[in-house]
Structure 1
């Protein structure tokens, strides 16, 4: 747990085991920079499995009942490379990049989906001191142009799938000279690319680097303060900002994370599928590699047996890999929660009653500190198989996880779900719950790499002197707090501050420290809206409550100070909305027609009121009107980030006429 370092209400909290000592700065005393971690791992785990990718056996079209055609894949087993083999490839790639003109301490862009080559490229850059610029693979053209031009990269490492994105915009990125593509040289189509752009395959650069005249050790070995990554945020507001992360920042962050993940080592297998351009995945995979963990790669489209690209009857990646460790964002856990409950509801009355009895019994047992081995083996083992059956720990980050979903994952998947709190600006590190902590809704005590203090926010009445617990804006301080924003001194000055010689990031989140020093995130300054009659409402709090309804797949609450009520935009669950319509006598309509039907809309509004009442929302927190949206909000729509955080301004702009109409009738 954690404790304040002195008696002042605004005193920083530190993990109990380092409260009066220095904050941790490295996972291992002998390692100072990221390349040191790989060297150490190769020395200890050289012949062990390192990175794995499933073999693509074939791809085929599958015609759906509505006539639409979806691409489906049939995948084989995982093919593995060892730590020694990866180290050789890293050396060849880094030497090859030097040979084709990449300079130490000059930025280089990795723009690709999560895969083994992404990590190999990153490790080569860490070793040869090329600062890695990251951009989400789903970003639009304007954001890509902004990131490339601002960071002044000349060399871009990308995938064959994303290469076409560059065709139409290369003329707007004058400094780019080289495109290195993750594919075989035979599959690269160089047509329509300007003649002044050199296009090479990943393998070709490795071959160049392996030539006796080219292979070399790093010209300039990185130092603790050298930039490792310029990570562009997903831009939930405005253009993405580049966050400057040094080797020392990432090392500090991982030192805290590794300490909290009990038994992390070569017996573990981690499944990598979240975007490596996100700090949560990058730090999780780098930490895994440093401890000898095998990483098997996946994607959200092939993750489970039911994933959209998996051919019916064949196995998804978790079923084949059987990971012991997994990171997830709340939206993925919420989907698992709803999928399991839908299956339970479709069972016989006896099976439903048995499941509910077992669920409630285990819930009560866990809250008293006991497990239920018999129920785990007989009733919950089938649910565990949805994620491979071997998971011993899950980490949730990126957004708040609802208490219902967290408890559900603990019970049904028979493994602890560790909630973490961190941001890109803190290298993803801040807090992680203890394995033994069976409470929900909390994000745990500070990690050993940082301290956290609360700062009064008088306007919202969040004060460090509040009883029974101190409350205020969360400030994270320590070696994991980054250098600031790239070429943006104004924003850096606004969001970062130095207190008692420690660099702090001002998060804008509101938290409270509870009696045992565990942090609970209770609000967000930007999400807090004052209604016409003076009541404050938290948009994200309402969304977290209402999205637990089986009718809701995605939700955005909207409010402003000129109105006395809030309203909602909801992407409904198609199956459950159809069932609801049937109950009120509406049948035979397409999904789009149901979403536009006023009677259906009213029934959904009633359901939202019921869910809000059960969760003790105030009357003014329950939406007065809503719109059912037929379009799923995916990152490529520009309405959510890659971590599925809402881009509120974009959503507001897209649905502006609907919002105005709802307010006029509310």
Structure 2
């Protein structure tokens, strides 16, 4: 392929020994480890440096709950120095508890404990204690095994056993779930509750000084007795800090290649795999991301932490904030109140996912471009002007429209917002453009994997469309390899195509106790096979065009990537979730569609009111998703919407869904078990769950 040197936006590694060319970010064409002048290679060093330089700056904050008035109060913070003291004590306390227990089990177990590098489970929603636990474990060269708050019993049991966790730090509501399964957890000897076990719900507003509902003194006493009967030690966070404070165990700092955490990739089939991520992985990723941010942003990094910390995305961003000596505020625990939290905290970074951005797009649209009367007219003109400026490289600000309109929309998240990031799947370009101009900030679409620490390729401040104009992140090298069964070849003209492979200092060290899966994922020792199909553009950028995994064939031999079709369907405002399926003896696709009740019901009501004679007396006022889902007129209208959407996204004819089932119950982690804890569809389970429905759609 001949690249255009005038528009080239990546560095092509010369004499690449493999097909597909190796590509790097232009800023680090000489080395994947570049510009790290402060030589910090562990998160322990990054935190200790922050404490030395800004000991009295706020670091972690939360919103205390007022149980009397049933409201969340303004953020309360702890400084870097305060967090350090708590982390020092907690890390020492964990070691003391482990040493005491090991002494009862013999010299071999005591030696293992003293040698460090063993796991502590962490099981809760995002909160200060999770971060303090991370800081604490680093002081003793221990590592965490993260558990999603939404995990079912079998996954919890698997992770705690696979990681061989001796102790688990969890929120109070998880204690009974662990005790129910304690006979299946032979390694677990201690549970630490993040919530106090000692005080009653007396109306206090301090997070650690009241028992969250439905707990009370009596119920906690029952938990203590239960744990004691199972020979499990039950502590609360504050007690472990006190244990560690008395005759504190000195720090045992980690080395760069020591494990920082095990992150369990929520596989859509089988047990989750534990990606081993080191201090070096995370520290270099933080350095690279911060270097990129500082090219564009004026505010020190700060964020509201709400996406699961058991996932690499939020964990990585918390470390970026720590590297910049910024602030982290934890959400109140209710995702529906996330923008209340951001308005109270005023972060400079907002980490989202495409579905959340689409909801935000719909909310702002209703208040601006879709508003009735003069406001709607003015808003449409303002958005049009700003998008034209955006496309002509004139930036995200407009002196007039921002003053009268968009300063208010920006404040929906934060007046300090200058960095909005989204991952897990590409966000639609029209959504990104709209939010860019209404929030006055560029949106960075990121593509990566747990195994690459969330790093990989992404859009830049100039281009939001990751599917068309992605470049490698700093510290990442990318190449393609042939996928002949899909007819994607690195020799394709004019654009090479193939599976995306990535490597760099941020890439993982393999799967914990799973050499077979490690060997499957790592190509030529260091390259990670992503399972996604990329294409090289004339300017060297990379477009994501398909998905290798989960492919199936239709009767005429066409390969179908269901994720590709689902990503298109899920951009429609009427659709909350979708599951696309097919049978090899049939020539077309079918789908299970979960309507979004926030948009679907108002849309359906308007149709019923305008076509009353067609709906056999169905009342627009009393309709719900379940009754509408069984209506053939509604189904056919949704199919028409899907056809138009497929045309707009230029899907091939065989990729267009021809029959649908409207499902009133959303796919869930616990409700029907069709989602992983990271909200990815369990395709194998969904196919079994909807087997009869899929067959009926072909009749």
Aligned pair partner of 2:149 in 128, 132, 137: 137
User: Structure 1: 5+ residue runs without aligned partners?
Assistant: 61-72, 308-314
Task: Report what 1:312 is aligned to.
Answer: none
How many residue pairs are counted as aligned between the two chains? 636
Equivalent of 1:506, from 529, 551, 559?
A: 529
Residues 169-192 of structure 1: per-residue CA shift (max 9 Å, x gap): 111111110001101122443243
Which residue of the partner structure matches residue 606 of structure 1? 640
- 2:20 aligned with 1:10, yes or no? yes
Structure 1 pair 195/7, CA: closer, same or farther in 2 (3 Å)?
A: closer
Contact 1:3 1:516 in 2 (8 A): no
1:267 equivalent to 2:264? Answer no
Aligned mates of 2:35, 2:355 — CA distance in 1: 31
Q: More deviation in 637-646 or 110-119?
A: 637-646
**CA RMSD of the aligned region, Å?**
2.2
Measured against aligned partners, the alpha-carbon deviations of 1:381-403 in whole angstroms (never above 9, x if no partner) come to 23212212321011111222222
Task: Check whether the contact 1:181–1:199 (CA below 8 A) recurs between aligned residues.
Answer: yes
Instruction: Render the CA deviation track for 1:619-653: whole Å, top value 9, x for unaligned.
Output: 32221111111112333333223432222122222
CA–CA distance in structure 2, aligned partners of residues 247 and 268 of structure 1: 20
**Residues 84-124 of structure 1: per-residue CA shift (max 9 Å, x gap):** 11111110100111111163212111111111110100111
CA contact under 8 A between 2:601 and 2:625: conserved in structure 1? yes
Moved more, 77-86 or 264-273: 264-273
- CA displacement 1:379-432 (0-9 Å, x = unmatched): 222321221232101111122222222222212211011111111111111123
Give the alignment partner of residue 395 of structure 1, picking from 421, 425, 429.
Answer: 421
Partner of 1:242: 274
Matches within 5 A, 1:113-512: 113-186=125-198, 187=211, 188=220, 189-193=223-227, 194-211=229-246, 213=247, 215-218=248-251, 220-262=252-294, 267-298=300-331, 301-302=334-335, 304=337, 316-344=340-368, 347-371=371-395, 372-437=398-463, 439=465, 441-442=467-468, 444-498=470-524, 503-512=526-535
Q: State the distance in 2 between where 1:443 and 1:84 align.
A: 42
Look up the match of 2:105: none
For 1:466-615, what aligned pairs fall within 5 Å after superposition?
A: 466-498=492-524, 503-582=526-605, 583=607, 584-585=611-612, 586=615, 587=620, 588-615=622-649
1:646 aligns with 2:646: no
Per mean C-alpha deviation after superposition, the further-off stretch among 87-96 and 569-578 is: 569-578
Query: Residues 374, 7 of structure 1: CA spacing in aligned structure 2 closer, same or farther, 3 A cutoff?
Result: farther
C-alpha separation in 1, matches of 2:493 and 2:178: 56
Secondary structure of 1:77 counterpart: coil
How far apart, in 1, do the equivalents of 2:189 and 2:494 lie?
60
1:224 positional shift: 1.6
Instruction: From the superposition, tell whether residues 344 and 553 of structure 1 become closer, same or farther in structure 2 (CA, over 3 Å).
Output: farther
Deviation at 1:55, TM superposition (A): 1.2
* 1:79 match: 76
SS at the partner of 1:185? coil
Deviation at 1:295, TM superposition (A): 0.7
Residue in structure 2 matched with residue 33 of structure 1 by the alignment: 42
Q: Secondary structure at the match of 2:500?
A: strand
CA distance 1:620–1:343, change in 2 (3 Å): farther
Query: Against the structure 1 CA distance between its residues 266 and 418, is the aligned structure 2 distance closer, same or farther, given a 3 Å change threshold?
Result: closer
Cα pair 1:325 1:391 within 8 Å, conserved: yes
| Distance in 2 between residues matched to 1:267 and 1:57, nearest whole Å | 30
SS at match of 1:204: helix
Kept after mapping to 2: 8 A contact 1:530/1:536: yes
Q: Match for 2:119 among 107, 110, 116?
A: 107
1:303 Cα offset (Å): 5.8
Q: CA deviation at 1:237?
A: 2.4
C-alpha separation in 2, matches of 1:232 and 1:401: 25
Sort the Cα spacing of 1:247 and 1:268 in 2 relative to 1 into closer, same or farther, 3 A.
Answer: closer
Query: For residues 30 and 615 of structure 1, what CA distance do their matches in structure 2 show?
Result: 46
**Corresponding residue SS for 1:331:** helix
TM-score, structure 2 normalization:
0.87
Larger radius of gyration: 2
Aligned counterpart, 1:52: 61
Q: Deviations over 1:223-278 (max 9, x none)?
A: 12211111111222221111111222222332332222226787332111111110
Contact 1:266/1:292 (CA < 8 Å) preserved in 2? Answer: no
1:610 to 1:292, Cα distance in 2 relative to 1, 3 A: same
What is the CA-CA distance between 1:343 and the residue it aligns to? 4.2
Q: Deviations over 1:326-364 (max 9, x none)?
A: 111112112212233344576214333332222222112
Give the corresponding residue for 1:310.
none
- SS for the counterpart of 1:146 is helix
Cα 1:598/1:116, change in 2 over 3 Å:
same
Name the CA shift for 1:276/1:50 in 2 (closer, same or farther; >3 Å): same
Q: How far off is 1:300 after superposition? A: 6.7
Please say if residues 444 and 464 of structure 2, whose CA atoms lie closer than 8 Å, have aligned partners that are also in contact: no
In 2, Cα distance between equivalents of 1:616 and 1:433: 22
List alignment gaps of at least 5 residues for structure 2. Answer: 1-8, 100-112, 199-210, 212-219
Instruction: Note the C-alpha offset of 1:216.
Output: 2.5
Deviation at 1:616, TM superposition (A): 2.2
Paired with 1:17 and 1:591, the residues of 2 have a C-alpha distance of 51
Q: Which moved more, 1:2-11 or 1:445-454?
A: 2-11
CA deviation vs aligned residue, 1:51-81 (integer Å, no higher than 9, x gap): 0101111378xxxxxxxxxxxx511100001
- Tell me how far apart the structure 2 counterparts of residues 265 and 156 of structure 1 sit (CA, whole Å): 39
User: CA offset at residue 568 of structure 1?
Assistant: 1.3
